[in-house]
């Protein structure tokens, strides 16, 4: 199985073929969808020999909707496949490095776990909501998404019902944040807001009992209009206390709250005994604020000014006086810290899918005792680890956290010591 969720085969002429909806070991007939110079995209035509790990997907939209990849594979096998993909993606860039994997952390919920989603909207045959079709930007209308948590689905059902009778002009999508009790919704449109749209939104905000509702023109000149709160709060347990965190409109939030709890706890354990800690790509403090209870001093670096403001406000709410949020790109901030001779005993980084190519090169020149690298892309992780290992860091451990059951996505934490 390739990273990306497709099965890998080889054609008679030696060309690699990528096929979705299959499982390693199966025998299938496939037909070419698109021929490339070095590989072929194909689809399964007939299944001759099924894997014992194959199951019937519960979702009726699974074969056409682009949201899930592996509902046809039993969950324990999904874990084994992801663990092997993570291993191979790191090993290919670090062939001489011994890899020490800890026990993977599985999700207690195989379905109904996702607390954040962007749902596409269409008015082609009356108002409908859905997700993009596989390999397309056409919308697949859905009645129910099996991976959304109950609160997300309830809010989506109610808003869809209201929008069918009271449509909003040029509506593109709905973004929902529902980590616990509070819910944020962002309505994304193409054009300029109309007065009637604002009236409908005000009615929705009150009727659905949302914590906050935002109207965001994607391409138009109109400004964002917000009803209620800009943030929704949620709690996680840190040692013997509850820590209050928050997500905001357009901001990042971990999709699986139960696995996020495990993720934060593991990072805290890796950072035990820290005096001065640097949190790169900090967001609004998902890691930095809990870490501030275990370190003498935390510097959280985030380039989004709204998330920096949110982080500072959340820190005050939790009475965290030893964390400072710094609004800057991670690479620029790190170069400045290096020039000033500022040192940290532990650096925590949680970069986007593109990884942290520039960051790890600078980190390797600084006096850093430990790096805790949270990754959502094993390919860029393998590349970045190669730089750090070459510069004298030792890869101590790797652990996989299944944040996204039924999909190919892989969240992991790697710990490196100097």
Residues annotated catalytic, as ranges: 376
Pairing mode, if any, of strands 368-375 and 411-417? antiparallel
The tokens 């040692």 sit on which residue? 239
**Three-class HEC string of the chain:** CCCCCCEEEECCCCCEEEECCCCCCCEEEEEEEEECCCEEEEEEEEEEECCCCECCCCCCCCCCECCCCCCCECHHHHHHHHHHHHHHHHHHHCCCCCCCECCCECCCCCCCCECEEEEEEECECECEEEEEECCCCCEEECCCCCCECHHHHHHHHHHHHHHHHCCCCCEEEEEEECCCCCCEEEEEECCCCCHHHHHHHHHHHHHCCCCEEEEEECCCCCCCEEEECCEEEEEEEECCEEEEEEEECCCCCCCEHHHHHHHHHHHHHHCCCCCEEEEECCCCCCCHHHHCCCCCEEEEEECCHHHHHHHHHHHHHCCCCCEEEEECCHHHHHHHHHHCCCCEEEEEECCCCCCCHHHHHHHCCCCEEEEEEEECCHHHHHHHHHHHHHCCCEEEEEEEECCCCCCCCCEEEEEEEC
Q: 218, exposed or middle or buried, with CB in 10 Å at 0-12, 13-18, 19+? A: exposed
Give the other-Cβ count within 10 Å of 228's Cβ. Answer: 16
Q: How far apart are CA 295 and CA 288, in angstroms?
A: 10
């Amino acid at each position: 199985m390739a990273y990306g969720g497709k099965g890998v085969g080889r054609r008679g002429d030696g060309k690699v073929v990528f096929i979705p909806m299959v499982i390693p070991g199966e025998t299938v007939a496939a037909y070419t969808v698109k021929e490339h110079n070095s590989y072929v995209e194909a689809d399964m035509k007939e299944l001759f020999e099924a894997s014992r790990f194959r199951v019937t997907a519960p979702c009726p939209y699974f074969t056409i909707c682009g949201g899930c990849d592996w509902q046809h594979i039993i969950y324990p096998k999904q874990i084994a496949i992801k663990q092997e993909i993570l291993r191979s993606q790191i090993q290919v860039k670090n062939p001489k490095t011994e890899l020490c994997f800890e026990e993977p952390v599985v999700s207690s919920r195989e379905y109904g776990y996702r607390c954040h989603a962007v749902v596409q909207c269409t008015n082609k045959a009356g108002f409908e909501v859905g997700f993009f079709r596989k390999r397309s930007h056409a919308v697949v209308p859905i009645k129910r998404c099996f991976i959304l948590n109950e609160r997300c689905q309830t809010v989506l059902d109610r808003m869809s019902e209201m929008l069918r009778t009271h449509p909003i002009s040029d509506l593109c999508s709905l973004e929902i944040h529902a980590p616990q009790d509070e819910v944020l919704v962002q309505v994304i449109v193409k054009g300029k807001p109309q007065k009637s749209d604002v009236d409908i939104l005000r009615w929705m905000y009150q009727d659905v009992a949302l914590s906050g509702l935002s109207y965001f023109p994607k391409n138009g000149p109109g400004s964002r209009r917000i009803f209620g709160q800009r943030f929704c709060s949620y709690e996680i347990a840190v040692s013997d206390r509850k820590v209050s965190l928050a997500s905001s409109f357009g901001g990042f939030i971990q999709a699986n709250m139960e696995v996020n709890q495990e993720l934060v706890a593991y990072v805290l354990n890796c950072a035990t005994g820290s005096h001065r800690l640097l949190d790169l790509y900090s967001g609004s403090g998902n890691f930095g604020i809990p870490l501030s209870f275990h370190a003498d001093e935390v510097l959280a670096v985030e380039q989004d000014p709204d998330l920096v403001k949110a982080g500072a406000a959340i820190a005050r709410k939790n009475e965290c006086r030893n964390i400072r949020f710094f609004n800057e790109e991670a690479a620029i901030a790190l170069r400045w810290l290096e020039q000033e001779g500022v040192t940290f005993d532990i650096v925590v980084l949680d970069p986007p899918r593109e990884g942290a190519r520039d960051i790890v090169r600078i980190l390797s020149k600084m006096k850093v005792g430990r790096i805790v690298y949270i990754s959502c892309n094993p390919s860029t992780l393998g590349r970045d680890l190669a730089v750090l290992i070459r510069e004298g860091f030792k890869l101590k451990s790797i652990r996989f956290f299944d944040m996204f059951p039924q999909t190919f996505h892989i969240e992991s934490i790697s710990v490196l010591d100097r």
